[in-house]
Amino acid sequence: MPLTFHYKQLPNGLDIVAEQNPDAHSIALGLFVKTGSRDEDQSVNGVSHFLEHMMFKGSSRYTWQDVNRIFDEIGAKYNAFTSQEMTGYYANVLPEFTERALEHLSHLLRPAIRDEDFNTEKKVILEEIAMYLDDPGHRLYEKLMDAHFGSHPLSMSILGSPQSIQKLQRDQMARYFQQRYGPGNMVLSVTGQFDFDQIVKLAEKYCGSWPHVDAPRVQPMPTHKSQKIGMTDEKLNRQYTMAMMPGPSAQDDRRFAAHVLADVVGDSDGSRLYWALVDNAIAEEADFGFYPHDGCGSFYLALTTDPARTEQALKIALAELEKAKNDIADDEVERARNKIASGLVLQGEIPLGRMRSIGGQWIYNREYRSLEQDMATLSAVTPQSLKQLMRDFTFDPMTIVSLGPGEKSK
């Protein structure tokens, strides 16, 4: 049976977007908030991610033990995430648990932010930051974002720094929550098997009293410059290199072509970089990808190599990017389109995948795109459109950051 899209806005401004699938055997519900690290001041950097932890510490009605117990009682598959520009909280349940799932999500998004929980969880966050700082890939990515975006808010760390988290106060978090986590800056995304009229009534019952917030994201376009930065860590024995350059935004239709290009050039298996670098044992890993941000976008290159082969690998990778501007072939584009299409269909077959897709799409563009629309746009990508994309986005300016052992002392 065909999928049906529904939309309703509650009087307080909460958007409800829903894709009804009568053949589904479950329902997925998610509350997405248009806020993340790029919306934070330096003084509260990391607060969005910290708040994700605090949501699971309970509301005025529930404790942290209750949060997990209730989700488990209804057999929910649940989770949350925080990115540079969005946070999401969601659950996938059987249709008979629809009301309990939405009620519980509504409590999750009204955290008590108790002092005791705040102080305890601050220690957990600091441990998490320390753990990630031991990961070369994470350290490299944080430095790359900081260097590439400079003074733009996208340079802000999702986790925050040990200093910003240590100084963060409970009342600062509460103010940030009140300013951004509410209707007007939030969408309820629902997919699977449901009655939409019931969903609207339940949303009014559990979320209808939430105060409207006005939290526009008014930020300048980032400016970039070509630069190369080296970092050393004597404990390492591999060299990690990443590069970043401008690409299409989440609002730009060229983002579909950008995903195809990323697959042709740098997918983990069978791409140009794979055959040029990994298959030839010049690099252990070679990846080229694309990330569409709100209002701008980024292509990125990532290499893992023996330190002695880093310059050779980077030179080959950059040469492959230049070659791609002129010799993209039909069969390469077709393979990439088919691979991406398979991923879209497989994700779209389950309510959880579609719920995240339409919720994120609404946050970025306030529009609904069916799976058929995405497939049609993807099918229209050709070698000519990829060549035009690379004329529009020339992989320049480029920020290159490398992390490795350097010259070890003997």
pLDDT of residue 347: 87
**Degrees (nearest 5) of the Cα angle 362, 365, 366?**
50
- Of 20, 35, 49, 26, nearest to 101 by C-alpha is 26
Mean pLDDT, range 49-60, rounded to an integer: 96
Domain co-membership, 158 together with 19: yes
Mean pLDDT, range 355-372, rounded to an integer: 95
Q: Is residue 220 part of a domain?
A: no
Please tell me the number of Cα atoms within 13 Å of 220 on its side-chain side: 7
| Cis peptide bond prior to 246, omega within 30° of 0 | no
Query: How many structural domains are present in the chain?
Result: 2
Other beta carbons within 10 Å of 125: 21
pLDDT of residue 348: 85
**CATH code of the domain containing 126:** 3.30.830.10
User: What dihedral do alpha carbons 76, 77, 79, 83 form, nearest 10°?
Assistant: -140
Q: What domain range is 292 assigned to?
A: 227-404
> 297 near 148, Cβ under 8 Å?
no
Phi-psi region of 58 (alpha: psi -120 to 50; beta: other; left: phi over 0): left
Give 50's strand partners: none
Please tell me the number of Cα atoms within 13 Å of 325 on its side-chain side: 11
CA dist., res. 10 & res. 56, Å (int): 26
- Of 99, 95, 33, 111, nearest to 70 by C-alpha is 99
| Backbone phi, psi, residue 87, to 5° | -125, 145
Q: Kindly tell me if the per-residue pLDDT of 62 is higher than 70.
A: yes
Q: pLDDT tens digits, residue range 176-219?
A: 999 999 999 999 999 999 999 999 999 999 999 999 999 999 99
pLDDT of residue 317: 98
CA dist., res. 256 & res. 379, Å (int): 10
pLDDT of residue 186: 98
Domain co-membership, 231 together with 371: yes
Domain co-membership, 382 together with 264: yes
Q: Is residue 115 part of a domain?
A: yes
Domain co-membership, 268 together with 337: yes
pLDDT of residue 410: 41
Q: Kindly tell me if the per-residue pLDDT of 117 is higher than 60.
A: yes
Q: Is residue 100 part of a domain?
A: yes
Secondary structure (H, E, C), 362-389: HHHHCCCCCHHHHHHHHHCCCHHHHHHH
Domain co-membership, 39 together with 120: yes
- Of 92, 103, 96, 104, nearest to 66 by C-alpha is 104
Q: Kindly tell me if the per-residue pLDDT of 396 is higher than 60.
A: yes
**Percent of the chain, pLDDT > 90?**
96
What the block records as the tokens of 66 is 């209750």
User: Mean pLDDT in the chain?
Assistant: 96
Domain co-membership, 150 together with 42: yes
Q: Is residue 219 part of a domain?
A: no
Q: pLDDT tens digits, residue range 14-23?
A: 999 999 999 9
Q: Which of 178, 207, 236 is the last residue of a domain?
A: 207
Q: Is residue 139 part of a domain?
A: yes
Domain co-membership, 69 together with 190: yes
> 86 near 96, Cβ under 8 Å?
no
Domain co-membership, 191 together with 326: no
Domain co-membership, 83 together with 199: yes
Q: Is residue 252 part of a domain?
A: yes
Name the amino acid, one letter, at 379: S
Please tell me the number of Cα atoms within 13 Å of 235 on its side-chain side: 3
pLDDT of residue 268: 86
> 105 near 29, Cβ under 8 Å?
yes
What the block records as the tokens of 91 is 């659950």
Domain co-membership, 159 together with 264: no
pLDDT of residue 2: 82
Banded pLDDT at 349 (limits 50, 70, 90)? confident
What the block records as the tokens of 401 is 């950051």
Q: Is residue 212 part of a domain?
A: no
pLDDT of residue 409: 46
Confidence (pTM):
0.94
Domain co-membership, 244 together with 157: no
Q: Kindly tell me if the per-residue pLDDT of 148 is higher than 50.
A: yes
User: End-to-end distance of the chain based on CA atoms, in angstroms?
Assistant: 70
Banded pLDDT at 408 (limits 50, 70, 90)? low
Q: Is residue 147 part of a domain?
A: yes
Mean pLDDT, range 276-289, rounded to an integer: 97
CA dist., res. 160 & res. 44, Å (int): 8
Q: pLDDT tens digits, residue range 150-170?
A: 999 999 999 999 999 999 999
Domain co-membership, 246 together with 309: yes
Q: Kindly tell me if the per-residue pLDDT of 145 is higher than 50.
A: yes
